[in-house]
Amino acid sequence: MFAPADIVAIHEAALQVLAQTGVVVMDDDAIALFKTVGARADGQRVFIARDAVERALASAPSAFTLSGRNPARDLRFGEGRPVFGSGSGPAYILDGSVVRPGTLADAQATVKLGHLSRGLEFNSDCIEPLDLPEDERTRRSDHARLTLSDKSMEWTASLEHDVDEAVTINEILYGARWADRPRALIVLNTNSPLLLSVETARILQRWAGLGQPACVTACVMGGATGPATPAGTLTVQHAEVLAGLVLGQAAREGSPFIYGGVSTMSSMRTGAAHFGTPEFALMANATVRLAHHAGLPVRAGAAVTDSHVPDAQAALESTMGLSASASAGGDFLFQAAGILSSFNVLSLEKFVLDDELICALRVAAATAAADDEALATDVIAAVGPGGDYLGQSHTRRHGRDLDRPTFLVRESAERWRAQGDGDVRAAARAEVERRLAAHEPPDDLDSVTRRQLDEYCLR
């Protein structure tokens, strides 16, 4: 783990990079906007001075509420309670022992699992439905997440017309003044090293201009798109994300912003980026601390693995990657369920296994009581040495505290064998089937809104 002084040194190094090396910005309007806050441009290379970064840090909120369709599902980012979001982005799914292209039915299944999840509060675009034409995929996936769940969701935008669709759908849901509060969160990526693409720059300007939250995320691969040391890689990451912050605040001062970092190191033997290594966990921890040093809510870590099946390696690496961010105080733990093969494949079995991990992390992070009732010194005195606690009223009051729903093995070995001694992957497969069968969609959408959603998204 980096020492506190090292976190400060990385921050200072990133400010030096922004001022002296600069970032390439591929959009002319964005360059013009950077200039309005004092940045200097040489063609497409933009040099951002410390004071411009500090003004952006001062104007960006340290916490904000993402309003949900159901007020009970409003999410607060930046105040110490992590928001867990499902995996996002793979185009392929592990179906038994076969990896195949994702479908709309797979996307719908992930929404149902996410809706019934006890740990996940945020539904992502878990799988790209390759059975649909490219120009329909985002709308159809949005429709599934809006009609099969009432949890907040990621608004996918890789092209400007995706933003147009997101605006139209939110107008259907909330009316013309939908953007009067933060309602829709978009995750955008930088291009490493030190580049903001046309699409990212334009979408960020529009979304921040609407007052909607953007999570600008850098995924620097040490040795390939960043220096071959964790500190150097984090310096590039920090510079890229701070450049995104300055642009977003220039578009609209005070717009909600989430610092995102999922950087890792590359193998110099194969060139592959590894996400299951201790370095990924090290950098997840540092990412949280860098963002909090800057006063920003943060996305970091992931339940990600280099394993290709939901096996012991997948469990070990996912626990390491997710808990590193959770224990450091991460605010947005995205990519927290279902991811295999270094972000490239989704598994429904791993989805529910990761959900168990999330629930465990929530319990571990919750405030534990040590009041008179919890300390139970009167009960200890009454039982005395050599006694037992089974008959105590205190035991009856607390006997079900640990009785949480789970499909993991909690039986004796004998009973487990009598039930067929299945492994955890078989248990997860059965749990997927049980949850899909139990899913009931929310009924909060009125008939007019539902008709308009269907007409727009399914056209």
pLDDT averages per 10-residue partition of the chain, 459 residues: 97 98 98 98 98 98 96 94 93 96 98 96 95 95 97 91 95 96 97 97 97 98 97 98 98 98 92 92 98 98 96 96 96 96 96 96 89 95 94 92 84 81 88 97 96 96
- The CATH-assigned architecture of domain 61-365 is Alpha-Beta Barrel (3.20)
Q: Which two tokens stand for residue 117?
A: 């999840």
The torsion of the CA quartet 34, 38, 39, 43, rounded to 10 degrees, works out to 80
| pLDDT value of position 414 | 84
**CA pair distance 309, 318, nearest whole angstrom:** 12
DSSP secondary structure code for residue 400 in this structure:
T
Classify the phi-psi angles of 432: left when phi > 0, otherwise alpha if psi is within -120 to 50, otherwise beta. alpha
CA angle 194, 200, 205 (to 5 degrees): 115
What are φ and ψ of residue 282, in 5° steps? Answer: -55, -45
Task: Write phi, then psi, for 196 (nearest 5 degrees).
Answer: -110, 120
Q: What pairing do the DSSP bridges indicate for beta strands 40-42 and 45-47?
A: antiparallel
d(CA 37, CA 406): 53
**CB neighbour class for 24 (10 Å; exposed up to 12, middle 13-18, buried from 19):** middle
Q: What is the pLDDT of residue 336?
A: 96
- Rounded distance, CA 41 to CA 30, Å? 11
Q: At what angle do helices 198-209 and 160-174 cross, to 10 degrees?
A: 20
What is the 8-class DSSP label of residue 342? G
Give the H or E element holding residue 66: strand 64-66
89 three-state secondary structure? coil
Find tokens 């009223």 and name the residue. Answer: 393
pLDDT at 140: 95
Model pLDDT, residue 256 = 98
Instruction: Please report the beta strands in 186-246, taking only residues with DSSP state E, as ranges in sequence order.
Output: 186-189, 195-196, 214-218, 221-222
The predicted structure's pLDDT at residue 208? 98
User: What pTM was estimated for this model as a whole?
Assistant: 0.95
The predicted pLDDT at position 409 comes to: 82
CA distance 326 to 228: 26
Q: How many residues does the chain have?
A: 459
**Sequence ranges of the domains in the chain:** 4-58, 61-365
Q: Rg of the Cα trace of the chain?
A: 23
Residue 237: its pLDDT value, please?
98
- 265 and 223 in contact (C-beta within 8 Å)? yes
Structure tokens at 36: 């309005």
Predicted local distance difference test score (pLDDT) of residue 422: 79
